[in-house]
Chain A
Amino acid sequence: MKIQAIQIVRLALILVAVGNPALQALSTAIPHGTVELVAEHNSIQPGNNFQVGLKFQLEKGWHIYWINPGDAGQPPRVTWNLPPGLSAGDILWPYPKALSAFSLVDFGYEDEVLLLVPMQASTSLKPTAQTNLSADIKLIVCQDVCIPGKTSLSLSLPVTAQAPAANTSARVSFESARQKIPKPAPASWKFSVADRKDSFYLNVVVGRPIKEAFFFPLEESQIENATPQKVLPSKSGFAVALKKSRQLTKPIQRLRGVLLLGDKAYNINAPVARTN
């Protein structure tokens, strides 16, 4: 009886796979993990921009890197090969995790991450049964040690005049990936940065005291990634003290990065004032 149930489930899985070949994007191997190209919708409609996802799954303890990798490493690089009428935008990086090892700090992703990539679909795209989106990926996967890898991914989707239906199996992962992409901060919040001696103080006014925050710098070599960030709560927000990088020899005009408050991430681009 049990065996029968398992067989039915297997048969059902095979039918799903056969019935929907486009969405069975194959996951390919990378060092200590896999990556696959995932569609959010079952088809492409001319003139209707969409997003695809690069889904990385990594063995426990291994990581890949954010756009600013921190003290070591390198983010994955993607080269797209797309049919005429489709063009890819830049990766929408979800906020990373600060990964500490050997008295250094890297910014990256462990376990699983979906990197969303916007795709522009021209109105001149011609309907077709299958169009192929493919990407070459070069990356480095690290634990204590690092292993470089490269692979090619592809995804076939029909181009149809109708509005595309959602790929229901990917809905949850696309939604949760979107929540991790940094948003613009609310218009009422105020940001300023004071350059004082060996630190930058990022002052944030949000209308309530904040005790915990973390700042991920977008630019390399501006702050010491491994120096603990000190959060100084105030009545209406907080300041976070960021130790200047030893490598910083000139004043900077703006501080850009991602501010993480709980599980909400915000884009920061604030002018720096020297106060001494």
Chain B
Amino acid sequence: MKRTILQTSLVLLTIIFLVSQIFAAKVGDPAPLFTGNASNGKTYNLSNLQGKFVVLEWHNQGCPYTEKHYDSGNMQKLQKEWTGKGVEWFTVISSAQGTQGYVSSNDENSYLSKMKAAPTAALLDPSGQIGHMYGAKTTPHMFIINPKGVLIYDGAIDDRPTTDKSDINGAKNYVSLALEEAMSGKPVSTATTRPYGCSVKYSN
């Protein structure tokens, strides 16, 4: 019995690995379609969001790089600004159960209200399925999908790879820059950057 479980997990892991190798998102290509369960109880399907800009923000509330952007209010400000302009913003949590950042729906809902965070929703992805589809590596790691469903940005939130809140002022925010350019019909000038942060705590 034990062996069967082990074998099944190995097969599953192999499948996840292969899928992530084949379908890992790439800027300029159609963004991988996903269905995500949110902490608010709703289910979100990327294919239903065509016609809108979508931002994915990988998140781990215990990671000091994430804390930099939440304790300073920077992430909340971006969420408010861009959802106000019609962007669908998803905070995605791929921490496996038992690792840092793993949360229940209730935990996440209290966190969102305590932090006055304003994403469209927070997607709980403890299996890492969405994370592997996009090749999310760090928290934060940001992706932008255009209204045609094409991935147009993959990378860091800004150009200051530190945990210091004092580095936010004056930083070049790649997410805002890409959204501004794409919304005014221009090509995204900086479409990939190295994401910085803590590693995403996948199950392995």
Tell which of A73, A103, A106, A138 has the most Cβ of chain B within 10 Å: A103
Q: In the complex, which residue of chain B has the Cβ closest to the Cβ of A68? A: B194
List CB contacts (< 8 Å) of B115-142 with chain A. Answer: 132, 135, 137-138
**Shortest Cβ distance from residue A108 to the other chain B in the assembled complex, whole angstroms:** 12
Contact A71 B199 (CB under 8 A): yes
**17 new A-B pairs (CB below 8 Å) besides A102-B200, A147-B64, A220-B194?**
A71-B138, A74-B162, A102-B99, A104-B200, A106-B199, A142-B198, A144-B99, A145-B198, A146-B64, A148-B64, A221-B193, A221-B194, A246-B24, A246-B25, A246-B154, A247-B27, A248-B192
Interface SS of chain B: loop
**Shortest Cβ distance from residue A195 to the other chain B in the assembled complex, whole angstroms:** 17
Q: How many residues of A contact B (CB 8 A)?
A: 23
Cβ of B65: which chain A residues have Cβ within 8 Å of it?
Answer: 146
Binding site for A on B (CB under 8 A): 17, 24-28, 62-65, 99-100, 132, 135, 137-138, 154-155, 161-164, 191-194, 196-202, 204
What separation, in Å, do the CA atoms of A102 and B163 have in the docked complex?
21
Known contacts A74-B161, A145-B62: A102-B192 contact under CB 8 Å: no
Contact B137 A140 (CB under 8 A): no
- Shortest beta-carbon contacts, A-B, top 7: A72-B199, A220-B194, A148-B163, A102-B202, A247-B192, A221-B194, A146-B198
Contact A246 B64 (CB under 8 A): no
Q: In the complex, which residue of chain B has the Cβ closest to the Cβ of A99? A: B199
What separation, in Å, do the CA atoms of A102 and B135 have in the docked complex?
12
Among A106, A148, A247, which residue has its beta carbon within 8 angstroms of that of B194? A247
Known contacts A145-B62, A145-B198: A72-B27 contact under CB 8 Å: no
Interface: A4 (CB within 8 A): no
**Shortest Cβ distance from residue B126 to the other chain A in the assembled complex, whole angstroms:** 13
Interface: A168 (CB within 8 A): no
Contact A138 B162 (CB under 8 A): yes
**Shortest Cβ distance from residue B24 to the other chain A in the assembled complex, whole angstroms:** 5
Interface: A275 (CB within 8 A): no
Interface: A101 (CB within 8 A): yes
Interface: A162 (CB within 8 A): no
What separation, in Å, do the CA atoms of A74 and B194 have in the docked complex?
11
Cβ of A102: which chain B residues have Cβ within 8 Å of it?
Answer: 99, 199-202, 204
What separation, in Å, do the CA atoms of A246 and B29 have in the docked complex?
11
Contact B138 A140 (CB under 8 A): no
Contact A249 B28 (CB under 8 A): yes
Q: Mark A244-259, 1 if CB is under 8 A from B, else 0.
A: 0011110000000000
Cβ of A140: which chain B residues have Cβ within 8 Å of it?
Answer: 64, 163
Cβ of B25: which chain A residues have Cβ within 8 Å of it?
Answer: 246
What separation, in Å, do the CA atoms of A248 and B155 have in the docked complex?
12
